[in-house]
A and B are shown apart, each in its own frame.
Chain A
Amino acid sequence: MFRPIAKQPDQPIKIQFESQTIEASSDDTVAAALLRAGILQFRYATAQDPRGPFCMMGTCFDCLVEIDGKPNRQACQTIVRNGMLVRRQRAPIAETPGERSKP
């Protein structure tokens, strides 16, 4: 479990992750805010393949989330904004070849 180790700066920002409201400070990355709130699974590469932030510096591309409707955003490279709507990223195509998934 990630936890703050020092008094955190003011956290006036509120973002939404799925159905959860999360507080953050104005220079938090989305990844940091979600990790601090105890969220570890940011996306599912396949149904059995959960991923979360790995490198925290924008090179592993594992922290991808959907932000305000836009897919494949690197959570560790995006600064929070008040009212931001973040959702887990799911694989757009079903794993079974030939099967079509709904958008």
Chain B
Amino acid sequence: MTIKQYQVAVIGAGPAGLRAAITAAKAGLTTLLIDDQPAIGGQVYRNLAQNKDAAAAYLGSGYFAGTKLLATFSQFDGVYWPQTTVWQITNDHQIAITRSGRAALVDADHIVIATGAIERSMPVSGWTLPGVMTVGGAQTLLKQTAVGAEHAVFVGNGPLLYLTAAQYIRAGLPVRAVLDTTGPKAWRAAAAHAALALFQPAMLAKGLSWLSTIRRHTRYVTGVTAVQISGDDAATALSYETAGGQSETIDTAHVFLHHGVIPNINLTMATGLDHVWDRVNHCWRPVVDQTGQSSNPAIYIAGDGGGIAGAAMAALSGAIAADAIIRRVKPAAAKPLATRLGQRFLLWQRGAARPFLDRLYHPDAAFRLPLSDDTIVCRCESVTKADIAAALGDAVAGPNQLKAFCRAGMGRCQGRSCGLIVQEMIANDRQQTMADTGYYRVRPPVKPVTLAELASLDGPWPG
């Protein structure tokens, strides 16, 4: 059944989605905010409303900076549907959802996709063992439930890793080690953009303070070039090597991995929007203009889903996207030119450090690709590096043909875990660029939908 029409539907209730929805509704547009979580905040501001008291101070000022935005949501007079999953967007911009066990189609004149980012996979040997999680996953557990692991080892690089390790330490959780995989090449590549980064002194200062906390309270090992996790039924130890020739085995039951986040492109790709290979960030992102408008003029992308830029940028891009829609639908309510120019400046300023950070924390090939033959690449289907190498021997044209040969990419996650790894393995094998190699064809439903839910699409809608 088709739900009544909205002028704007926003997908995702993180900072970008919240700002977009609030902005659109305030201008008088009929607005629907859809999110799959039970509460607003997305990943970065997860459980913010519940974490108000001082006991959660270890989460840091960046986290609590979201308080104001979340508070303005109380004045949102649009429709808000939490615990609602979007599984398809049609090319005439209808949104297929499931909610309370039923499916429905939402008619929206404009859509803002603000589904954010996911972790970039780090396929180290043993990465599928219980006890191994992404840094983001560890941080989510901390924010949501105030639960953490003792004596964990953090592996990788990037702001989220340093922040989470610092949060862990401030929360009183002993951290066994932080193993930094940033290589010397990265510093050289980043140096050219260091001056620009000085336009974001507060952000740099924060990063330095996290690193200082880490250095003072745990072992901080730099120049890590290889990592292996071992265990039978769960992780029990981690071995590493460094560029300087160090090698060691650490006993640990918990390993947290992170070397960057990437736009969550499954919905945008399944919707048929144009995407481009971003060489600096080594990921796919949707093609958008300055307002976030995608290759489908009715669909806008806001926040990290359009390109990684962080929470402050996300909120601003949500406002800009909503404003662009308002200008199309109800020009009288749109922001004046001066405000838009101001927003453009802020966008630039809040992104000034990105060229530096993106190059400094560019994921190293050693950690983008599996090293041992028995390392699982496609987690869903348990397809190993050796399985894929064998299939590559059949002169596979690309990731979609590879799927048929070895099942990599045919699982539930539709490539979220293995897509970039497989793409790079094929690119290397065929000696072609990542852009030319292409990516899996992502199909709806972008999240699994039960037969009963699908079948109910034609039925009555309880609301």
Contact = CB atoms under 8 A, between A and B. Distances in A.
Contacts of B142: 5
Given A5-B173, A40-B234, A62-B379, A53 B145 contact: no
Contacts of A32: 141, 144-145, 147
B77 interface: no
B148 A3 contact: yes
B176 interface: no
Given A3-B148, A29-B144, A50-B234, A55 B118 contact: yes
Interface residues of A, number: 36
Interface in B29-57: 36, 38-39, 43, 50, 55-56
B421 interface: no
B140 A56 contact: yes
Nearest to A77: B36
Given A5-B147, A79-B38, A57 B234 contact: no
Contacts of A27: 38-39, 50
A51 B129 CA distance: 6
Contacts of A8: 145-146
A4 interface: yes
B253 A55 contact: no
A7 B53 CA distance: 12
A-side interface mostly: loop
B133 A56 contact: yes
Interface in A1-54: 1-8, 27-29, 32, 35-36, 40-42, 45-46, 49-54
Contacts of A29: 144-145
Interface in A72-90: 72, 77, 79
A60 interface: yes
Contacts of B147: 2-5, 32, 35-36
A55 B128 CA distance: 11
Contacts of B43: 57
A50 B145 CA distance: 24
B109 interface: no
Given A59-B264, A79-B38, A36 B145 contact: yes
Nearest to B83: A79
A51 B416 contact: no
A57 B140 contact: yes
Interface in B133-159: 133-134, 136-138, 140-142, 144-150
A49 B146 contact: no
Nearest to A70: B450
Contact of A54 (B39, B134, B148): B134
B137 A7 contact: no
A53 B147 CA distance: 14
Contact of B380 (A2, A6, A61): A61
B155 to A, nearest CB: 14
Contacts of A60: 134, 379, 413, 416-417
The 6 closest A-B pairs by CB, nearest first: A52-B130, A56-B137, A40-B130, A56-B140, A6-B146, A61-B412
Interface of A: 1-8, 27-29, 32, 35-36, 40-42, 45-46, 49-62, 72, 77, 79
